[in-house]
Amino acid sequence: MVTTTYQVQGMTCGHCVSAVSAEVGAIPGVNDVQVDLAAGRVSVTSEQPLDENAVRAAVDEAGYELLGA
Amino acid sequence: MVTTTYQVQGMTCGHCVSAVSAEVGAIPGVNDVQVDLAAGRVSVTSEQPLDENAVRAAVDEAGYELLGA
């Protein structure tokens, strides 16, 4: 298992957390997503290291911006 | 038609707007709900004047607080 923590901009409430969790959680190979709303951090646990572009696309699809890992 | 504008606390993003719009829009007799996120204002248009308690309950159900009309 690999857990990578990303910085995500724009999340403001529990709905935002749900939206990001759902989109990132739908990436193939992702086992768990933990969001720290106050810190703007999203920790993604997966079987294999993920393509950051896939994570970026999922965060974008949810309506937010991935700033980096 | 009557339009009443309420002050609602706690809305931070588009998901919050959707949640409040859906709950308040489901009150019988409500024809339209407009939310000004930045101002925290919810304008409700209805056929007859609404019971403020019904609006308060809907806003509460969505997870926010109605401060007053």
Residue A56 structure tokens: 């970026």
Contact state of B19 with A19 under an 8 Å Cβ cutoff: no
Unique residue bearing structure tokens 């931070």: B12
Within 39-58 of A, beta carbons closer than 8 Å to B belong to none
Cα separation values, A6 from A29, A31, B27, Å: 17, 16, 41
Architecture of the CATH domain B2-68: 2-Layer Sandwich (3.30)
Domain residues of chain A, as ranges? 2-68
Q: What is the pLDDT of residues A10-67, one digit of tens each?
A: 999 999 999 999 999 999 999 999 999 999 999 999 999 999 999 999 999 999 999 9
- ipTM, two decimals, is 0.73
CB A33 within 8 A of CB A20: yes
Contact state of B16 with A19 under an 8 Å Cβ cutoff: no
Residue B20 structure tokens: 């409040």
